[in-house]
Each structure stands twice: as C-alpha cells, then as structure tokens.
C-alpha cells in the first residue's frame, strides 16, 4: 500500500510563485471561533492550521498582498 506523507498531504500547489514577491504570510485567526491564535499543521508553516481554542483544523487566508499588476486568476 502506498502511504502519503503528512507534509505532502497538506502541501498546496495552487499558488503561482510569480504571484507574490515576498514570503507568503497566513492569517492565524480561526475561521470558526475567531480566536487569534492557531498553530500550523506543517513544520514549515502553511495554510492548514489548528485553532488553539476550539481545536478545529482550517485553511487560513493569505495576508500577503499580490504583486501590483497581477491579473491572472487562481481558478483556471
């Protein structure tokens, strides 16, 4: 049986590397209970997080602004 590593399971590939000029920063606010603290589910950070209060897992929003002339849609 082929198993998927946890880090590979939560890795996202939908962000084009040319969209952001600086490192991507994700929100730490829980989308369920609005608690301001959460931890990343991956060691290197990332968009999948777990709330410190309600313990639910969620996909965080991106806080980093895209480049100024960005017109390419992420939903192609």
pLDDT in tens, 46-68: 789 999 999 999 999 888 877 66
Question: Where is 54: in which H helix or E strand?
Answer: none
Distance CA 43, CA 24 (A): 15
Between CA 17 and CA 66 the distance in angstroms is 10
Nearest to 29 by CA among 14, 7, 50: 50
d(CA 22, CA 11): 19
Tell me the two tokens of residue 42. 């991956």
Q: Where are the domains of the chain?
A: 1-70
Q: What are phi and psi of 4, to 5 degrees?
A: -95, 130
The pTM of this model reads 0.62
What's the rounded mean pLDDT across residues 14-43? 82
């Amino acid at each position: 049986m082929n198993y998927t590593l946890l880090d590979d399971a939560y890795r996202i590939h939908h962000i084009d590397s040319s969209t952001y000029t600086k490192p991507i920063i994700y929100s730490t606010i829980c989308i369920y209970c609005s608690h301001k603290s959460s931890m990343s589910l991956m060691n290197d950070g990332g968009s999948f997080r777990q709330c410190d209060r309600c313990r639910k897992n969620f996909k965080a929003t991106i806080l980093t602004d895209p480049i100024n002339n960005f017109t390419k849609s992420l939903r192609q």
